[in-house]
Amino acid sequence: MSQNTRESLSERDRIEEVLTRGVVDVVDRDHLLNRMTSGDKLRVKFGIDPTGTNIHIGRASAIRKLLQFQKLGHQIVLIIGDFTARIGDTSDKTEGRRMLSGEEVSANEQTYLQQIGKILDISKVEVRHNSEWLNALTPGDWIKLASNFTVQQMISRDNFAERIKNGIPVGLQEFLYPLIQGYDSVMVKADVEIGGTDQLFNFMAARKLQEVYGQKPEDVLLLQLLTGTDGRKMSTSWGNVINILSDPNEKYGRTMSIPDQLIPVYMEMATSIPMQRVREVAKLIENSSANPLELKKELAFEIVRSLDGQKAAEEAAHYFQKIVQDKEAPDSQIPIALVTTDELDVNILLNMLKNYNITKSKSDGRRLLEQGGIRVEGVGTLDSQATTIEIPETGLTLRIGKRRFLKISRERSKTS
């Protein structure tokens, strides 16, 4: 299905895709469908806590859902959780989060609008910080909020119950998080809220508090959680993420590393590829009737194109073909080290790799060398027992691992 075909979908079809694409459950579906088909313009809330500097495409799947609402003319209300980030949402955690300082939260959020703006039209988004109203709450306000929930309700939450069972501490401040997130919905008068399935408890708290404060409870879209590139839950701490602001070549390459069965899932959750094509790809994968490599290229191209543009996607596809598949050295985009001798001590080389951020440390470079992971392009693997490396007059290019390079060039001594 072409882009034009997708855009020519009827309003009812577009609404149906909002309620189904990547969606696990809707509360209350009939109510929300009636409001959307009747032409009501809804306030659609999404909250994001700046607990780190990067937003990965798993979290961005909710932002793509917001884009669908935005294209239908609804008002997106983006809440930057600068207050809640200090506590940390443990909805999907098996242990408590470290509490952040206000300075850390402020530093983390500096690029958030830039990242979200790669998907949404930020100029049309109502951006709020929940510190606006939460910093103003009095002790009496907190007591009023807390009086609407019981300890039994809190400890019935799956991850809290599991932690208590295993003797892992649950901080009292963690009980406050659902109350605060719910109060956010009250303050912005949310009609709809979007988030992953791990957010159900928080969303139900919001619905209850809206009723307490005389509002109609928001409807809720629960989205599938996107699996990480290694098949586990997508988590920054595990490094199995694809970040919005990563270099296009890295986004493309990381996408190419996902398990084959995740291709249609990523297409559905991390792109705007028409669902007809997503279903076709799912059948192709299931029946083993297509080359998964080509399907991954289609997926990787679309992820980069949607975030960085057509040209960046074309260049990333070319880079992957040339560097990864054809195993050529790149013509540019690699650091160049200048030396004045025809031999280079291997220890100096390992320091170079570290200084150019090609390896994490000198010992990391040594490990790669011993495992045969450093090659001299056009020559072969660098001898792990060598103490020096010869630098010809024309210089040489080293390949470190699969995709990292360092070019070493000779220059004349200035004293000669």
Confidence bin at 89 (pLDDT 50/70/90): low
Predicted confidence band of residue 332 (pLDDT cuts 50, 70, 90): low
User: pTM of the full predicted structure?
Assistant: 0.74
Please give the Cα distance from 6 to 10 (Å, whole number): 9
pLDDT for the residue 8: 61
Q: Of the ranges 125-129, 150-154, 260-264, which one carries the lowest mean pLDDT score?
A: 150-154
Find which of 49-63, 92-106, 180-194, 396-410 is predicted with most confidence, using mean pLDDT.
Answer: 180-194
pLDDT for residue 333: 67
The answer to which of 63-72, 227-236, 376-385 has the lowest mean pLDDT is 376-385
Cα atoms in the Cβ-side hemisphere of radius 13 Å centred on 75: 13
How far apart CA 336 and CA 352 sit, in angstroms, is 10
pLDDT at 261 over 70: yes
pLDDT single digits (tens) 149-179: 988 888 888 878 888 888 888 888 888 888 9
Q: How far apart are CA 229 and CA 266, in angstroms?
A: 10
**DSSP-derived 3-state class of residue 228:** coil
- Taking only the tens place, the pLDDT of each residue in 342-351 is 888 898 899 8
The amino acid at residue 237 is S
Alpha-carbon gap, residue 52 to 231, rounded angstroms: 22
Mean pLDDT of the residues in the chain: 87
Binned at pLDDT 50, 70 and 90, residue 93 comes out as: very low
Judge whether residue 189 has pLDDT over 90: yes
Question: How much is the pLDDT for 35?
Answer: 95
Mean pLDDT within 279-304: 94
Residues of the chain with pLDDT > 70, as a percent, come to: 92
Q: What is the pLDDT of residue 192?
A: 98
Confidence of residue 219 (pLDDT cuts 50, 70, 90): very high
| Band of residue 3 on the pLDDT scale cut at 50, 70, 90 | very low
Query: Who wins on pLDDT, 327 or 6?
Result: 327
pLDDT at 353 over 50: yes
- Domains, the chain, with CATH or none: 3-229 (3.40.50.620), 248-325 (1.10.240), 336-410 (3.10.290.10)
pLDDT-based confidence at 247, cuts 50/70/90?
A: confident
Whether 328 has a pLDDT exceeding 90, the answer reads: no
Q: Percent of the chain scored above 90 by pLDDT?
A: 50
Q: Sorting pLDDT into bands at 50, 70 and 90, what band is 2?
A: very low
Burial 272-285 (b: 16+ CB within 10 A, else e): bbbbebbebbbebb
pLDDT of residue 4: 43
Question: H-helix or E-strand containing 375?
Answer: strand 374-376
**CA pair distance 56, 234, nearest whole angstrom:** 9
| 402 vs 119, higher pLDDT | 119
Q: Which residues of 181-217 are buried (b: 16+ CB within 10 A; e: fewer)?
A: bbbbbbebebbbbbbbebbbbbbbbbbbbbeeeebeb
